[in-house]
């Protein structure tokens, strides 16, 4: 009964405020948070499925071909005979997908 009396005595404006806040949160979730989580999952699956011989791009913009895969380290050949060891999490994208996106 207390809630009913508050609503009848002008508490309707606070109810509309709560509804508006819920609506704003729902909009933020569907347009910002959910797509970001989806992109994060795609990147995690890509990094988990890396293969030897695959051409990739690192987060720093280095293009190379994977020569060895260890638990958390990738050996990347960036030029003939030049190999670097990088963290698996710094692999950003497949080289083919970045070249297709540029066209």
Please, what CATH class does the domain formed by 51-102 belong to? mainly beta
Look up residue 80 and give its two tokens.
Answer: 């003939």
Looking at the predicted structure, is the pLDDT value of residue 75 above 90? yes
93: its two tokens:
């994208």
- In the chain, where the domains are located: 1-49, 51-102
Identify the pLDDT of residue 71.
87
d(C-alpha 9, C-alpha 27), whole Å? 30
- Reported confidence tier of residue 96, pLDDT bands at 50, 70, 90: confident
Q: pLDDT, tens digit, for every residue of 22-46? A: 999 999 999 999 999 999 999 899 9
Residue 95: HSE in the Cβ half-sphere, 13 Å Cα cutoff: 13
């Amino acid at each position: 009964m207390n809630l009913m009396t508050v609503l009848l005595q002008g508490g309707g404006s606070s109810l509309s405020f709560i509804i508006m806040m819920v609506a704003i949160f729902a909009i933020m979730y569907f347009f910002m948070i959910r797509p970001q989580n989806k992109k994060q999952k795609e990147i995690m699956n890509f990094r988990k499925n890396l293969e030897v011989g695959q051409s990739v791009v690192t987060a720093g913009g280095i293009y190379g071909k994977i020569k060895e895969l260890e638990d958390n380290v990738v050996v990347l050949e960036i030029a003939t005979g030049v190999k670097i060891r990088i963290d698996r999490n710094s692999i950003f994208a497949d080289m083919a997908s970045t070249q297709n996106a540029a066209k």
